[in-house]
Amino acid sequence: MQELETGPLHRFEEWPNELVPKRAAGVYTVWEGNQLLYVGMSGRAMTAEDLEVSDGGRVVAKGLWTRLNAHASGHRSGDQFCVYICDRFVVPELTPPQQRELAAGALSLDGLTRTFVRERLAYRFVVTADGTEAAKLEGDVRRGALSAGKPYLNPLSGGAPTSTSAV
């Protein structure tokens, strides 16, 4: 679990990252400087067998890689992380001229979100055995299991972290 706080930090500006497995369940944390902004997971329904499947010998991206790729894109449609980033960081900083450009269709919120993510944010990740383990770990981190506390954008209220396993 500590790898999500002290492990290697990867900048979104350097995406794609060959260190992220193309097919894996896992958990990731997103940081702006020392502030924990978001905790996410991917592969909720993935089993150990799913992680071994390939398409004719070619590994088809699924899970952690596809989730981080979606975040790096800045596209808000279908990506709650990008919606949070846009709503909480991008929109409040829009200038009146930018607002007029948006209204005229000359500026894209997705583009601004992508720029924000790529220029200002970084992530850490861990691979888990399957989606069940990833979901438990994500919940623990969202409840404040790291010394950085709960994530700014998607904290969970409630009891203490439940997982005691080290990932």
Range of 102's domain? 3-142
Is residue 101 in some structural domain?
Answer: yes
Task: Give the pLDDT confidence of 104-154 residue by residue, as tens digits.
Answer: 999 999 999 999 999 999 999 999 999 999 999 999 999 999 999 999 999
Give the confidence band of 167 by pLDDT, cuts at 50, 70, 90.
very low
Q: What is the pLDDT of residue 29?
A: 98
Q: Is residue 83 part of a domain?
A: yes
Residues near 150 by beta carbon (within 8 Å), at least 6 away in sequence: 36, 142, 143, 144, 156
Query: How high is the pLDDT of residue 61?
Result: 82
**Least confident interval from 3-7, 28-32, 162-166:** 162-166
Q: Residue 160's pLDDT band (boundaries 50, 70, 90)?
A: low
- In this prediction, residue 44 has a pLDDT band, given cuts at 50, 70 and 90, of confident
- Above 80 in pLDDT, residue 4? yes
67, 24, 65, 27: which is closest to 47 by C-alpha? 24
H or E element that contains 32: strand 23-32
pLDDT, tens digit (0-9, with 9 covering 90-100), for 49-89: 665 555 566 668 889 999 999 999 999 999 999 999 999 99
Is 78 inside a domain boundary? yes
Structurally, the chain folds into a number of domains equal to: 1
Does residue 151 belong to any structural domain of this protein?
Answer: no
For residue 165, tell me if it sits in a domain: no
**Is 93 inside a domain boundary?**
yes
Residues 6+ apart with CB under 8 A from 128: 24, 25, 26, 27, 43, 134, 137, 167
For residue 111, the model assigns a pLDDT of 98
Radius of gyration of the chain (CA): 17
Give the pair of three-digit tokens for residue 124: 């850490």
From the DSSP assignment, how many helices (H) and strands (E) are in the chain? 7, 5
Instruction: Please check whether residue 166 lies inside any domain of the structure.
Output: no
Please give the model's pTM, rounded to 2 decimal places.
0.89
Cα(124)–Cα(64) distance, integer angstroms: 11
